[in-house]
Amino acid sequence: MTSHEKKGEPVLALKDLSFGYGGSAVLESVSLDFRPGEFVAIVGPNGCGKSTLLKVIAGLLTPDQGSVLLGDRPVGSFSRKTLALHMAMLAQTNEAPDGMLVADLVGMGRYAHEGWLSRGTAQDRAHIETAMQTMEIADLAGRRIGELSGGQLQRCRMAMTLAQDARVLLLDEPTNHLDLKYQYALLDIARRQAMAGRSVIAVLHDLTLASLYADRIVLMSDGRVVADGAPADVLTPAHISAVYGIGTVAMPFGRAIVHLPESALE
């Protein structure tokens, strides 16, 4: 696999980004490039600004300083609908009502492609079908989401995001609610999306999973980027200790890096 190679021009560039909620800074001078074909995991402790970073990239929040460039245009200059043709985002929590059908939920992924009086065209259907097969939820199409388990629902939401067919995928803690099998399955799908030429950016909690699937890891702390690079270079005991405040022993295992707390090993 050559996925570690940096391919082509950046599809997305963050330039000296700062953002704060009413005075208190959440992001401070963040500069990052994202290239096509790359799966980037953003990790860091709770409240380090990683979800906020994703929202700023998605244009949901306007940065106080700096810019987010999609191609050569600032994200804020696109209409929401046009932006959604290029960039899909999976929000952290589900708010859809229990009575909504799985088919309707996944179908929402095609919203940006639809007109006011044109829905469910052959192309829309093809993308929805492929997304549902990829997420192994084809048999759930007629079910209401209130009847699903948390994991099934999360797979349906991911299918919606895939159906959007955007070249940039922003995933906010996509492995939430998933059991072991589907955590692996989802991240494997995310990686395959990257290998197909998309740019995948995911906020993840689990460092081991991040090292196992991501091409690149961005480690954040207090709104700043502490380290950015290949998993082996970022997930070092020194970085972990600086960011999380615990001493760990790193155990490389294939491409994965498992960090175990020193305190438990004594």
**Residues near another protein, by CB under 8 A:** 55, 58-60, 79-85, 88-91, 93-101, 103-105, 108-109, 111-112, 115-121, 141-142, 144, 146, 160-161, 164, 170
95 and 145 Cβ atoms separated by less than 8 Å: no
73 and 11 Cβ atoms separated by less than 8 Å: no
One-letter amino acid for residue 7 of the chain: K
Q: Which is nearer to another protein, 99 or 150 (CB)?
A: 99
174 and 122 Cβ atoms separated by less than 8 Å: no
Q: Which is nearer to another protein, 100 or 195 (CB)?
A: 100
Q: Which is nearer to another protein, 145 or 240 (CB)?
A: 145
Q: Minimum Å distance from CB 121 to another protein?
A: 5
Burial (Cβ within 10 Å: 0-12, 13-18, ≥19) of residue 132: buried
Residues for the chain: how many in total? 266
Q: Which is nearer to another protein, 131 or 250 (CB)?
A: 131
Q: Minimum Å distance from CB 170 to another protein?
A: 8
C-alpha to C-alpha distance for 2 and 37, rounded to whole angstroms: 10
Q: Which is nearer to another protein, 132 or 220 (CB)?
A: 132
Q: Minimum Å distance from CB 135 to another protein?
A: 16
Pull the structure tokens for residue 146: 């209130």
Q: Minimum Å distance from CB 145 to another protein?
A: 9
Q: Minimum Å distance from CB 182 to another protein?
A: 20
Pairing assessment for the beta strands 168-172 and 199-203 based on DSSP bridges: parallel
Q: Which is nearer to another protein, 131 or 217 (CB)?
A: 131
Pull the structure tokens for residue 233: 């270079």
Q: Minimum Å distance from CB 29 to another protein?
A: 25
Alpha-carbon dihedral of residues 32, 85, 201, 127, nearest 10 degrees? -160
